[in-house]
Amino acid sequence: MDYKTFLQELQDRHALIFLSVAENYNDEIYLSVRSDDFKKTCVCLHKLLHSPVAVFFAQDSRREKNAFVIYCTFMSAKYKKWFFVSTEIAADKAILDSLAREIYSSSLFEREVREMFGIEFSGSPDARSLRLHEEVWPRRSFPLRKDFQNKPTKDIEKAEYNFNKVDGEGILEVPVGPVHAGIIAPGHFRFSVAGEPIINLEIRLGFKHKGIEKLFEGKNVFEAIKISERISGDSSFAHSLAYTQAIEKICGIIVTESLSAQRAICLELERMYNHANDMGGIALDVGFSFPAALASLIKEEILQLNEKLTGSRFLRGVNEVGTTRLKLDEGKKKVLLAALKKISKDFGEIKKILLSSASFMDRVDGTGVLKKKTAEDFGVVGLAARASGIAADLRKDFSGIYTQFNFNPAKEATGDVLARLNIRIFEVEESIRLIEEFINIHHTASDKRLTQPELKEGFALGYVEAWRGPVLYWIKIDENGLIERCKVVDPSFHNWQGLSYCVLGDIIPDFPLCNKSFDLSYSGNDL
Amino acid sequence: MLHIIKNRLLKGIVTTPIDLKSLGKENLVDWRVETVGLELKKIIRKKFCRSLHIREVDTGSCGACESEIIATTNPFYDIQRFGINFVASPRHADALLVTGPVSKNMALALKKTYDAMPEPKFVITLGDCALNGGIFKDAYYVEKGVKNILPVACHVPGCPPEPFEIIQALLAFLKKS
């Protein structure tokens, strides 16, 4: 069954009414519905496609249509398409039925849209603010509205964030953060413990919120690549790649095989240094310092390799719209292959040391279990999802350079710290194999950097499987070639909730271990 | 265990002077980590009774600066052998190392961390956005740099500065003051 039959079936059997159906760029389908039908349509697609909400965002179109446009996006690996359900809601009556009770993965997105645009969701289970903390931000100020003016206000109504409370005899609350004990980003964790086991963990984030989505607006397309590279430093390349892919789609640039290969090499290098870092981090959090030191050496080796190949340790400034600055000549290929050989050997050693240590295995085996059902409900993505038995990987789900080389996605079922460690080990081995394949693709010098006059008006989704999971960029370019709206979703945004559930029943000293096994980005989440 | 010992012996000491030539940086810096570091050690011995303790606070950086600060402690650079330690509590710290443009949500936490430190104390900022907001200076939710909140004694430029540059900048500052 192809997607057209599927759409027909939606209309015939499920009685959904579409105001319009548009297919853009082979992989995006836009279904426009009346605001009353929005919830029904989303719930139907959610169930039929078995997809959590991938992106849910709003756009301020009050100037053109006197309305806000809401998009809710689902991914289908079966049809290899992204389904966007969109609706318009009148500016003077900005209220919509909440999806969160039926589709839990939309909950955080709804809270985000509510505080950024002032759109209310009736029947929402959680209407607290997400990133604009009550203590410092005036309540009726909505940053992503087009008429928002950034004026300092003194009259902030003092409000307090209400943490979920666990009552009962002997329940102890342990607040941690925002400033933590290591060299690590800020976030607030509130544990409720009964004796030793954790019975609730609430994570309050947003401490690193800067207002990046607003910062994108009105920016020159080429200059804004820099911003995308600084959303999450450890995924600089993946973010800039998703960004440039969206722009390339809008402008109709066909990405050559050699360009895809060069980019994929960088993407895998980024994956490898982060996986090495996390393997070391997991070892360090159980006090096993030798493999941790070895892992930090591998990370340093890869960062120095990155610098030799591209001039940047974090692969910044490599991506450009239409091309890449990485040009692998014979000399660089040799350097890369030699480094891979060494890295591969060192990885083998770490793997052997970790997996043969009984005390290490005792700490990671069965700790921090994230059940498949919980992961599905929260829309957990990427590495963490694969560890819990969800077979999802954009490298496999959409055809491209990876599927040509028989990319083999990692899969585990137990969902514990060990499973997430095993996924990393598997993926590093696969990355090394892939780079060795990609390196042989003949380099053609046909791709050119896009210039300002070639820019087109339009919107598109860029998506990349970064090392944590899918990084998504929905970008709209206006008639002047400037960015009108840029919605960014880092995989961390979905996965933080998974972390807060996987620790239940474990003890607080296991929390750092669970946290490191997810290793989520604070800045990617907070934007 | 035997395997670890074998590995340790085979690996040898990695903290040898870094070959800057292979990094393509021989024109940029002609010091090696060893020479910079030994000089740093002398100063720290004299001014801070052998140890300079630093507390790090992230106020909204992208995470790359943290990554590079952590890298200064890896076996390759091993900043700890020169007497610089990163500590868990502001109560143990001589210096506060701040990254990020200071988001509105972190301003209070930053002030409180500084207040919790014992005198004498000083503040080091690291990375371009800590100086004046950097690429984020026009965003609505930032305070445009640390200097608007705390007195800053030293700044380490870069986006992000490399581990070697961090060690070098610390030396230059300690020498001067």
pLDDT digits (tens, 9 = 90+) for A393-422: 888 888 888 888 888 888 888 999 999 999
Instruction: Give the list of residues 6+ apart from residue B169 with CB closer than 8 angstroms, or none.
Output: B154, B156, B157, B161
Chain B contact present for A522, CB below 8 A: yes
Chain A contact present for B139, CB below 8 A: yes
Q: How far is CA A255 from CA A246, A248, A259, A326, A357, in A?
A: 12, 8, 6, 15, 46
| CA distance between the termini of chain A | 39
pLDDT at res. A156: 67
Question: Under an 8 A CB cutoff, do B60 and A215 touch?
Answer: no
pLDDT at res. A434: 92
pLDDT at res. B174: 80
Contacts of B95 in chain A (CB under 8 A): none
Measured distance CA(B124)–CA(A139) in Å, rounded: 34
Measured distance CA(A436)–CA(A433) in Å, rounded: 5
Is the pLDDT at B30 greater than 60? The verdict is: no
Query: In which band, very low, low, confident or very high, does the pLDDT at B20 lie, cut at 50, 70 and 90?
Result: very low
Summarize pLDDT for B78-95 with one digit per residue, the tens: 888 878 889 999 999 999
What mean pLDDT is predicted for residues A287-315?
90
Q: What percent of chain B has pLDDT over 90?
A: 38
Domain count, chain B: 1
What mean pLDDT is predicted for residues A171-191?
90
A185 vs B14, B63, B142: nearest CB: B63
Question: Under an 8 A CB cutoff, do B86 and A209 touch?
Answer: no
Domain that holds residue B42: 31-176
* Residue A379: both structure tokens together: 């829309």
Contacts of B69 in chain A (CB under 8 A): 183
Instruction: Give the list of residues 6+ apart from residue B49 with CB closer than 8 angstroms, or none.
Output: none
ipTM: 0.91
Q: Which residue of B has its CA nearest to A524?
A: B62
Chain A contact present for B71, CB below 8 A: yes
Chain B contact present for A416, CB below 8 A: no
Give me the residue label for tokens 């001039």: A311
Amino acid at A441: I
Is the pLDDT at A87 greater than 80? The verdict is: yes
Single out the residue of B114, B128, B33, B124 nearest to residue A316, CA to CA.
B128
- Which of residues 307 through 366 in chain A touch B, CB cutoff 8 A? 307-308, 313-314, 349, 352-353, 356
- Which of residues 173 through 212 in chain A touch B, CB cutoff 8 A? 178-179, 181-186, 206-212
Question: Under an 8 A CB cutoff, do A353 and B7 touch?
Answer: yes
Chain B contact present for A153, CB below 8 A: no
DSSP of A68-124: EEEEEEEEETTTTEEEEEEEEEEGGG-EEE--TTT-GGGHHHHHHHHHHH--EEET-
Question: Under an 8 A CB cutoff, do A300 and B142 touch?
Answer: no
Q: What percent of chain B has pLDDT over 70?
A: 86
The strand pairing partners of A483, in sequence order, are A477
What is the pTM for the complete model shown? 0.92
- Top residue of A183, A234, A356, A360 to mutate, by most chain B CBs within 10 Å, is A183
pLDDT at res. A32: 93
Question: Under an 8 A CB cutoff, do B101 and A210 touch?
Answer: yes
Phi, psi of A504 (to 5 degrees): -60, 130
Question: Under an 8 A CB cutoff, do B62 and A356 touch?
Answer: no
Q: Which residue of A has its CA nearest to B100?
A: A208
- Top residue of B140, B143, B165, B166 to mutate, by most chain A CBs within 10 Å, is B140
Q: Which residue of B has its CA nearest to A525?
A: B62
Contacts of B105 in chain A (CB under 8 A): 131, 133, 136, 178, 206-209
Q: Is A104 helix (H, G, I), strand (E, B) or coil?
A: helix
Measured distance CA(A301)–CA(A295) in Å, rounded: 10
Dihedral sign computed on CA atoms, order B42, B43, B49, B53:
negative
Q: B137 lies in a domain? A: yes
- Top residue of A141, A179, A521 to mutate, by most chain B CBs within 10 Å, is A179
Q: B138 lies in a domain? A: yes
Is the pLDDT at B2 greater than 80? The verdict is: no
Average pLDDT of the residues of chain A: 89
What mean pLDDT is predicted for residues B44-58?
84
Summarize pLDDT for A217-256 with one digit per residue, the tens: 999 999 999 999 999 999 999 999 999 999 999 988 888 8
Q: Which residue of B has its CA nearest to A186?
A: B58
Question: Under an 8 A CB cutoff, do B105 and A133 touch?
Answer: yes
* Residue A324: both structure tokens together: 């890449």
Q: Is A470 helix (H, G, I), strand (E, B) or coil?
A: strand
Instruction: Give the list of residues 6+ apart from residue A6 with CB closer than 8 angstroms, or none.
Output: A48, A79
Question: Under an 8 A CB cutoff, do B60 and A307 touch?
Answer: no
B61 vs A179, A209, A523: nearest CB: A523
Is the pLDDT at B32 greater than 70? The verdict is: no
Measured distance CA(B30)–CA(A308) in Å, rounded: 18
Measured distance CA(A371)–CA(A485) in Å, rounded: 36
Q: B17 lies in a domain? A: no
Q: Is B151 helix (H, G, I), strand (E, B) or coil?
A: coil
CA distance A296 to chain B (A): 6
pLDDT at res. B29: 43
B74 vs A181, A183, A300: nearest CB: A300
pLDDT at res. B28: 44
pLDDT at res. A92: 86
Measured distance CA(B87)–CA(A505) in Å, rounded: 30
B139 vs A214, A297, A349: nearest CB: A214
* Residue A162: both structure tokens together: 């209400």
Q: B3 lies in a domain? A: no
Domain ranges of chain A: 3-122, 212-526
Summarize pLDDT for A104-152 with one digit per residue, the tens: 999 999 999 999 999 999 988 888 888 988 888 887 888 998 888 877 6
What mean pLDDT is predicted for residues A83-93?
91
> Which value, in Å, is the radius of gyration of the alpha carbons in chain B?
17
What mean pLDDT is predicted for residues B42-68?
86
How many residue contacts between A and B have a Cβ separation below 8 Å?
A: 150
Give me the residue label for tokens 């921090």: A368
Contacts of B141 in chain A (CB under 8 A): 132, 143, 209-211
Q: B152 lies in a domain? A: yes
Q: Which residue of B has its CA nearest to A296?
A: B74
Overall fold of domain A3-122? Beta Polymerase; domain 2 (3.30.460)
Contacts of A181 in chain B (CB under 8 A): 88-89
Phi, psi of A52 (to 5 degrees): -75, 175
Chain B contact present for A234, CB below 8 A: yes
Alpha helix segments (H runs only) across B72-144 = 104-115, 128-132
Query: In which band, very low, low, confident or very high, does the pLDDT at B96 lie, cut at 50, 70 and 90?
Result: very high
Overall fold of domain A212-526? Cytochrome-c3 Hydrogenase; chain B (1.10.645)
What mean pLDDT is predicted for residues A172-192?
90
Count CB-CB contacts under 10 A for residue B139. 24
- Which of residues 98 through 137 in chain B touch A, CB cutoff 8 A? 100-101, 103-109, 113, 135-136
pLDDT at res. A445: 67
Q: Which residue of B has its CA nearest to A208?
A: B60
Contacts of B166 in chain A (CB under 8 A): none
Contacts of A136 in chain B (CB under 8 A): 104-105, 107-108
- Which of residues 11 through 70 in chain B touch A, CB cutoff 8 A? 11, 14, 22-24, 56-70
Pairing of strands A120-122, A95-97: parallel
Q: B16 lies in a domain? A: no
pLDDT at res. B46: 78
CATH code of the domain containing B88? 3.40.50.12280
Contacts of B100 in chain A (CB under 8 A): 208
Contact A155, A141 (CB under 8 A): no
Q: B153 lies in a domain? A: yes
* Residue A261: both structure tokens together: 């290969």
A304 vs B23, B135, B142: nearest CB: B23
Measured distance CA(A156)–CA(A46) in Å, rounded: 39
